[in-house]
Structure 1
């Protein structure tokens, strides 16, 4: 598997960062460019999810609490904006932020707890390269080179903690996995998998990056996988590559073992 994966990476015109981790043994099966920092795109929404739930626990804030949404909060790529919502429950915003990568929901949640709190929480969680420096769709800051970033190493650590359910209360830990498992964007890791698998994951993409990272639950093995592609010139091509890499890993770790 490892040789085939590296051959596919070498044949790619893009920069590929990748990890595969056995979650039962907590061992990396494959790690490629783990420590290189890159634009996180919407992957940043996963640690935001954990940070916000942590803040709710600390401040005894209920999931059904309602938050106000001003019309000037509405941004593109948002079902909240499409509905012209002026208020929403915290639960709905958290779900939309992950399953449709809603940018308005994300920005409203960022405003509630603040960037400083979020970055401090990321650090306490053990994330070394993950930094929130701009809100979603802030093209002015992005044009100045101010972007949100992470690394394959950080995403591997984050999803290990999510799998172990040792960060939040049992109820909120299960909620995180439930929300990630309801993801509606399936153009990458799940793209070429015919089995009806449980995949708790999050995608992220901009014009020059495409990412997908998550946890595959199966009877053979539970494993985490993250594929992060930078210097992209064709997003569809990049998502196809993620799908092919995912299929190779799934075939080796799940299909081959289940067929024994």
Structure 2
């Protein structure tokens, strides 16, 4: 696996000839953020050695190198999920590659279901913590010491300085924003009302099917991590609204202008 990671990183490095300031991973329906990047190189996943292919509507299949707010960006338009049938090792493969490329800062985005009664559809939430309920751990197995330690400190999974800068950008632009705890489940089913109730009882504000494996692996490699989430549906033990992937994409689309403003503010002002 380490050889594959290095091979992929070498392929990308030979093309972009630089070390990006940020890696950005776009979640469901958040692809419009890529329109804000001034592209220099666009690589199709299918053309990158060892890179998997995304199979989910709303997830593109391109790695975009360019600039955003004067910073160098390497952006994944579309991520990989455990529910697609990929191993955790494959799900987090791009994050490993980013580290070998020398990238220190990772910005993640996702769509999630809200269980906090203060949330509304299309609200934006900055992750301050998470609860990992995925059935497989991305660090299970022999540890690769070259990438990070066997046991990983998770006392600050989401970088507090990044959160503060993003909050400031939201405040300056009159954007309502929350901080919340994200719980990760395997998917691909949306949750039942009882499951939403369980998630709330466990202390989470929202639930999704991604992100956490990427965060764990990024922290394993000592990267600074930030994640922004769009609430695309609401649930609870007494709520039984039907939800579809199309509705998720529509809600994400509605929130996009605010997401773009917050992310651009963070990128511009984070050293």
For normalisation by structure 1, the TM-score amounts to 0.28
Structure with higher strand content = 2
For normalisation by structure 2, the TM-score amounts to 0.28
